[in-house]
Structure 1
Amino acid sequence: MTTVEQSNAAPSTAEPRPQRMRTIVGWVIVIALVLLVAFVAIRVSASSPSNRDALDPEARDDAGALALAEILRDQGVEVSIFRSRADARAALDDDATLVMTNPYTLTDDGLAEFIDPAGRVVFLSAGSHLLNVLDIGDNAPGTSEPVSAECSIPQFAEVGTIRPDRFFSPADGVDACFGDVDGAAVLVDERGDDERVVVEGTRLFSNAYLAENGNAALALALLGQTDRVVWYVPSFADTDIESESPDTLGSLTPPWVTPVILLLLAAGIATAVWRGQRFGPLVAETLPVTVRASETMHGRARLTAQAADAAHAGQALRDGAQRRLARRLGLAVHAGADEVADAASDRLRIPRGTLQALLAGPLPADDAALVELARRLDELEIAVEASTGSRKGEQ
């Protein structure tokens, strides 16, 4: 036997090692994924639904109300934050306004006892049960348009307009502000010696939206009427509901559900890894039919024409023109209508309001308006392209 034949007959031990290493790495990844899924499932099942951070005066995130608390302090209002209703009740006096979100952690008797010494109470959010307990009104439909005070409460006269997310219908004798005949965003109850105010301010007074419209002015009108604000933050740690605990995902499901879900996930991952190793590398193949982009465009145009949807077609024209204008003006592809209008106004010396109305104004209602919109957009693009070419020539 020659040397070549001996070398060919000798078994090779170099090739199985990479394969064995890939198998080990694959199982390590599978185990890590299973542990990660188990950890996430345990955390989800152990967590309880809570909106504790909504309008929390010490929270800095978008849903918090730290900005509102700081504005009140800048206006000379003393803001005291309490997470214990006993401490908050002890801090109340005639010169203080009691402020809280929906006290969902208190019973009806506990709420009545808590707010009894307060001459003025402002609820920054409310549920249907709270409306019934206060006998102040009920839920009502509303509008998405900006609304002004339209009531006789003097502190709301300089607020301006707001865009509330929720409306209430007032009870008899309750003043309703910021709404219409169907409902109002703010209810003010002065039927007795005390004043009770309800507003859905979860979005209006949050850090993310406080600077919009008249939101900050409305907050100051509601909370800045006294020298002190006693801000109580409800929580399940300070509840008077006995023998009850907040429902969690784990308590609402049978005990066998979580292990079965984890087992199914582990089996699915293992099957994917096992079957995935049987396939080879991807092979690029040409499609049997090539559909031209123009055919797709004409097809969509015919569907839009059959539906007589001028508004949808107008929006499509605007989107395309806005992207092309942004590229020609040196802006980001996803630049908004305001940015494109500003840049085009500076370039063409055209009033910004005209371009804003063209790019973000009302959509066309019929074919004639659609044709007019297309013509004006085309003229704007030609003007911008011409100005861009002239600038390049000057350079």
Structure 2
Amino acid sequence: MSTTIGQRWRTGRWIAVALIAITAVTAAGAFFTAPRPGGRMDPESTSSDGARALVTLLRDRGVEVVVATTVADVEQAARPDTLLLAAETYYTRGTDLLGRLADVPGDRLLLEPTSRARQALAPDIRLSGASILTMKPDCDLPEAKRAGTVQLGSTDTYEKAGDADLTRCYGGALVRYQADGRTVTVVGSADFMTNGGLLQEGNAALAMNLAGGRPRLIWYAPQQSEGEIGAEGTSLTDLMPDAVTWIVWQLCVTVLLLAVWQGRRLGPLVAEKLPVVVRASETVEGRARLYRSRRARGQAAEALRTATLQRLAPRLGLGPNASPTAVLDAVAMRYAGDAMTVQHVLFGPSPSSDSDLLHLAQALDDIERQVTKS
């Protein structure tokens, strides 16, 4: 009896341990595989705009990826043999912060740099345009030649602005040059490095070749603004690409020319005779047809009543602004019908049908005829 109880206890204990282990493994798996939202180029985000897939691939390849959220983190992690990947640079506000990034040792990989970031970190290039590119590298850069055809999507293109020997790939969407003992690489689009962009043709290879060129990579893609905007801080025009600035200026010139054209003087008015004489009956019939096509019985009734009152007022000795009561009293003295009928005809509701509108016109004509003859 005691042996059976002991066996059951040992069996139940192992079952409990197994259940606890399964629960722990399931919870851990859910924790590590659960979706992690985040901003664009966020190294921890698993969304389509995040970059967790590329960071994971780089670490599996043996690259030490250091995530830096501030410029101070970049300065602390930087070494001469490191590669600084800088994306989302519009969050880095202030020339002092960009100047500190420019003083960091090591190579640079800039993705979609703003105009101020480009001036501080890649001053030997300038923006040449924007396009949608899916093409072969057409250059001698090893990283691009190994990747082959890529789909960069909508991207900026660059050209040489200084004396540096510039290598242009993919129509200028990817450029590289040497300056001050460092390699500076600029790409006009970061879409090919995101989780959603890696799956397209050649994108993963190009991303791995560019970001994995050094054993230590500093990933600087801030997800919130750093630095205060002062009197000399970043303005809206600083955040706009150069191409957008030119488009805005072109639109302003176009609007100005259009205003001048539309506002031209046509000279003084010249009185001319009408080419034809339109009879009053045709005008009345045309207006009546418009009322009928729109079923505007209320407007038609109002026009009839107003015209009748305007003709009756002088005959009744009333002014143009006489009250309805004064009009009814004056008409009742000369009209043979009921006073309630007069009130309904002159000031009643709008007719509900074409037949009622016709009867109203006849009643108004009858009232005006009796008042005129009296």
Normalising by structure 2, we get a TM-score of: 0.47
Structure number, greater radius of gyration: 2
